[in-house]
């Protein structure tokens, strides 16, 4: 076994600045000041353009421009654990499965690994547990006292094509049941037809229904046809008051990718520079390996700075990512890779 690393692996090392930091987001006693939204600026939205080849070239450099090894990598992976929205969105979900997932959320890394890494004082948990509306009461009960919020997928997830009134009622029902975060899905048709006013009005209505619950707007980027549409949909969703913008439901043929993510975080940066309000980012769907998770952390650090490496401004939507992160942490501790069944989710 390798020698025991320093306490807490000096997590601050993952915060070493790559370049001068941008201005910090507005902070309140409760954290980052919520984005209240702005009036829809159609002139700005319609003039947004994306150079696809430039985006793809930049995205291709993200995995190669930065690398972390040994205790540095372990520190970044522990940070990644704290950013996971641990998710179960299956048709065969049961209260028992959800309760076991919540237990994993509260203790996401095996106790022997936590002890070997010397990070007991971190009291590490995931960022949230994400479930269907029907499972919100079960998850809220299972997570009582942990401080971990429950996120509910809503608004006719994943297609988002149920009647508008039903989608709004679903949001309100999830909030009433105890969900602190709501992941809504937009109507893709509004984007594909360029009906930005309808998209703005829809997301604004969802935001009002969320009340104090934070709202993550799922764009379903794999179904928006162009990177330009991804940029415009991102900006409209933020103008309408989204607390986060999210790539995917995880049910599309193409989910989170680095090119989609680069476009979205650049829009977050533009919105922040124009308004002073920080909006969070959540890539979701297909992020299964620790290596892939690190690439998204590199992207956030390079494009938005260290403040976007905390749970109030960044989340991974994932169900199996945690398993691979635990395997990598065990390799750091023991020098050997373990089988996935040694790190069960439920």
The verdict on residue 30 lying in a domain is: no
Q: Say if 302 falls within a structural domain.
A: yes
Question: pLDDT band for position 339 (50/70/90)?
Answer: confident
Domain harbouring 59, CATH code: 3.20.20.70
Instruction: Report yes or no on whether pTM surpasses 0.75.
Output: yes
Angle between helices 196-210 and 164-176 (to 10 degrees): 30
| Cα–Cα dist 130/133, whole Å | 9
Tokens representing residue 29 in the block: 């006693």
Tell whether the model's pLDDT for residue 17 goes beyond 50: no
pLDDT score of 27: 55
Is 78 contained in some domain?
Answer: yes
- The mean of the pLDDT values for the chain is 91
Is 275 inside any structural domain?
A: yes
**pLDDT given for residue 338 in this prediction:** 78
Output the pLDDT for position 14. 38
Asked if the structure places residue 103 within a domain, the reply is yes
Say which residues have a Cβ less than 8 Å from residue 316's Cβ, sequence separation at least 6.
Answer: 80, 83, 84, 85, 127, 282, 283, 284, 287, 293, 296
List active site positions.
Answer: 183, 246, 282
pLDDT in tens, 140-154: 999 999 999 999 999
Range of the domain at 274: 41-342
Question: Which whole number is the average pLDDT over 280-299?
Answer: 96
**Structural domains of the chain, count:** 1
Measured torsion, CA atoms of residues 63, 65, 68, 69, in degrees rounded to the nearest 10: 90
Residue 106 placed within a domain: yes
Long-range contacts of 44-50 (CB under 8 A, 24+ apart): 44/235, 45/196, 45/232, 45/235, 45/236, 45/239, 46/196, 46/232, 48/228, 48/231, 48/232, 48/235, 48/267, 49/228, 49/231, 50/226, 50/227, 50/228, 50/230, 50/231, 50/263
Residues 78-106 have a mean pLDDT of: 96
124 belongs to a structural domain: yes
Residue 20, domain member (yes or no): no
């Amino acid at each position: 076994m390798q020698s025991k690393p320093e306490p807490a692996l000096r997590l601050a090392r993952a915060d070493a600045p790559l370049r001068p930091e941008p201005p910090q987001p507005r902070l309140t006693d409760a954290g980052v000041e919520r984005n209240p939204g702005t009036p829809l600026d159609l002139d700005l939205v319609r003039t947004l353009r994306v150079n696809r080849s430039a985006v793809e070239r930049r995205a291709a450099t993200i995995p190669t421009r930065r690398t972390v090894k040994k205790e540095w990598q372990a520190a970044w992976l522990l940070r990644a654990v704290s950013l996971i929205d641990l998710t179960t969105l299956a048709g065969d979900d049961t209260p028992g499965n959800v309760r076991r997932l919540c237990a994993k959320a509260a203790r996401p890394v095996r106790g022997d690994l936590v002890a070997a890494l010397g990070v007991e004082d971190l009291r590490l948990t995931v960022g949230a547990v994400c479930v269907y509306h029907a499972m919100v009461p079960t998850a809220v009960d299972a997570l009582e006292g942990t401080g971990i919020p429950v996120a509910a997928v809503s608004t006719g997830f994943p297609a988002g094509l149920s009647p508008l009134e039903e989608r709004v009622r679903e949001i309100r029902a999830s909030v009433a049941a105890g969900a602190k975060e709501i992941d809504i899905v937009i109507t893709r048709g509004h984007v594909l037809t360029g009906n930005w006013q309808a998209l703005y009005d829809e997301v604004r209505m969802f935001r009002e229904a969320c009340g104090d619950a934070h709202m993550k707007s799922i764009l379903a980027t794999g179904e928006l046809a162009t990177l330009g549409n991804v940029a415009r949909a991102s900006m409209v969703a933020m103008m309408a008051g989204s607390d986060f913008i999210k790539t995917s439901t995880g049910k599309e043929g193409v989910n989170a990718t680095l090119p989609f993510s680069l476009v979205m975080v650049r829009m977050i940066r533009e919105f922040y520079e124009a308004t002073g309000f920080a909006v969070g980012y959540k890539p979701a769907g297909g992020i299964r390996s620790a290596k892939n998770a690190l690439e998204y952390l590199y992207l956030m650090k390079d494009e938005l700075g260290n403040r976007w490496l905390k749970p109030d401004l960044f989340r991974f939507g994932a169900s199996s990512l945690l398993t691979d992160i635990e395997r990598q942490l065990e390799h750091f501790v023991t020098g050997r890779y373990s089988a996935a069944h040694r790190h069960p989710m439920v």
